[in-house]
Amino acid sequence: MAGDDMEKGGLEPLKMQKLGYRSWEESKKMWSIAGPAILTSVLQFSIGFVTAAFVGRLGHVQLAAVSVVQTVVESFAYGILLGMGSALETLCGQAVGAGQMHMLGIYLQRSWIITGVTALVLTPIYVFTSHILKLFRQSNEISEVAGRYCIWVIPQLFAYALNFPMQKFFQSQSRVWVMAIISGAVLAFHILLNWALVTKLGYGLGGAALAGNISWWLVNLAQLVYLVAGYFPDAWTGFSLSVFQSLSAFIKLSLASAAMLCLELWYFSAVILLVGGLKNHTAIAIDAVSICMNLEVWALTIALGFNVAVSVRVSNELGAGHPKAAKFSVAVTAAASALVGVLFMAAVLIAKSDFPKLFTEKPEVIRETSKLGLLLAATILLNSIQPVLQGVAVGAGWQFSVAFVNIGCYYFIGLPLGGLLGFKFKLGVVGIWSGMLAGTLMQTVVLLWIMYRTNWEKEALQAEERIKTWGGPSESQEAS
């Protein structure tokens, strides 16, 4: 008996040592993707952040108008295009894990066709933005300015359509550092361009729009050069007419991906629209929420780096038939992202009276924004965990199921509760944001429960089948 106890006692440290080694190895793999992905995400988001900061000096109406465009109109289009491109994340990641590299270039070109057509369909929304905002009872002055600005930034819509599929293509192969370098160089140029056009030459909103258009297309141009320069000999073999085969199957997964992500992003847009319906101090209220949204989205871009990492790791491991490795990667990534979320939450709570000054000098806007500090901190913490869960869903191909979770939690709980608290109980912006936070909390709990109940062995088998089904007959035949 004593010998058995000693043997058990010896096994426990050995298990812990093995677990520590596995965690360290997985962390290295995760951070090799998450680090540059976080940097890329932050740098590309900062293009809009810099635009808002320069426009904020033009006046509170201009800031409110650009914020509405960024958080409502562009988020609407951004969500659809990014979602349509996210089908590539599932298929490319699992194809890489299965060693079927020849599929990736075909997938990329199919995704370009889908996102390009989608951008064309979305263009009228940009053209008629002012009329649409007025239908939602937004301020006439803000709607008019937002409508003009939105027409000027239509080129960015098509830049997104080209950019997102390329990002997924690079990420699935863990080629993320080049994207970070490109984004950093373009952001530096974007700051200089805004200073020259908006501040020095005094071109105002038109100058800000032009700077954004130029910067986003520079990102695309640099990434295209990298794509065709010979760094992907197995994955990119040039343009092919075979991309038009089996498009219907690809479109189905693209639509499911878009539905999942759009329901997420439109949730935040709907909050801005609710705030715009408040009768008193609308411009101030929109400015306050928009500043918080900018910071929240900035923090979210960091969490999206973990989203990319876990999506790539899960899709690669499931495609390779390693379900236990996929499950372990989820645990390691979620823990790392949550820790970063706690640090950001603490930073917001400490600086809740100071961070609004980054965007505005208006005392009334600073006061209104500071009141939302506690809710912003809680939202940032939740949104450090939730994107990881969404990344698992994309990596495993659960987009359709998660779309229904988002509908229930956001649109049947979060928004109605926010409207009730904000309008019926007259809590204003605080009430609307509290409802949004409740919906996000519910969605996070449901997704955690789904992860807990997942049969990862079954998911690995489904990944193998998905490569054949969604890839289409032409690729399957090539692989064989």
Distance CA 122, CA 140 (A): 23
Domain-located, residue 136: yes
CA count, 13 A, side-chain hemisphere, 451: 24
Distance CA 444, CA 118 (A): 29
Distance CA 350, CA 352 (A): 6
85 touches 164 (CB < 8 A)? yes
pLDDT of 473 reads 44
169 touches 93 (CB < 8 A)? no
Domain-located, residue 22: no
pLDDT of 257 reads 74
Lowest mean pLDDT among 143-152, 166-175, 283-292: 283-292
Highest mean pLDDT among 190-194, 312-316, 354-358, 447-451: 190-194
Greater confidence (55 vs 290) lies with 55
pTM of structure? 0.72
Domain-located, residue 27: no
Amino acid at 167: Q
pLDDT of 476 reads 40
Structure tokens at 452: 């807990």
pLDDT of 269 reads 67
Distance CA 420, CA 330 (A): 36
Query: Is the per-residue pLDDT at 103 higher than 60?
Result: yes
Domain-located, residue 11: no
pLDDT of 474 reads 42
User: How many domains does the chain divide into?
Assistant: 1
Lowest mean pLDDT among 273-277, 303-307, 322-326: 273-277
Domain-located, residue 394: yes
Amino acid at 270: A
Instruction: Render pLDDT for 306-339 as a digit per residue (tens, 0 to 9).
Output: 888 888 888 888 877 888 888 888 888 888 888 9
Greater confidence (136 vs 375) lies with 375
Percent of the chain at pLDDT above 70?
91
Instruction: Render pLDDT for 29-72 as a digit per residue (tens, 0 to 9).
Output: 888 888 888 888 788 888 888 888 888 778 777 888 887 888 77
Domain-located, residue 15: no
Query: Is the per-residue pLDDT at 435 higher than 50?
Result: yes
Query: Is the per-residue pLDDT at 262 higher than 90?
Result: no
Instruction: Render pLDDT for 116-160 as a digit per residue (tens, 0 to 9).
Output: 999 999 999 999 988 888 887 777 888 888 888 999 989 999 999
Pinpoint the alpha helices (H) of 57-173: 60-68, 74-97, 103-127, 129-135, 140-152, 154-172
Q: What is the DSSP string of 50-73?
A: HHHHHHHTT-HHHHHHHHHIIIII
Farthest-apart Cα atoms in the chain, separation = 85
Domain-located, residue 353: yes
pLDDT of 478 reads 39
pLDDT of 138 reads 72
pLDDT of 241 reads 73
Distance CA 68, CA 146 (A): 7
Amino acid at 106: I
Distance CA 259, CA 404 (A): 9
Query: Is the per-residue pLDDT at 462 higher than 80?
Result: no
Please give the C-alpha separations between residue 57 and each of 62, 90, 106, 287, 365, in angstroms, as whole numbers.
9, 42, 46, 13, 13
- Closest C-alpha to 264, from 296, 312, 286, 290: 296
Query: Is the per-residue pLDDT at 475 higher than 60?
Result: no
Domain-located, residue 9: no
Lowest mean pLDDT among 196-210, 237-251, 396-410: 237-251
Domain limits at 46? 32-470
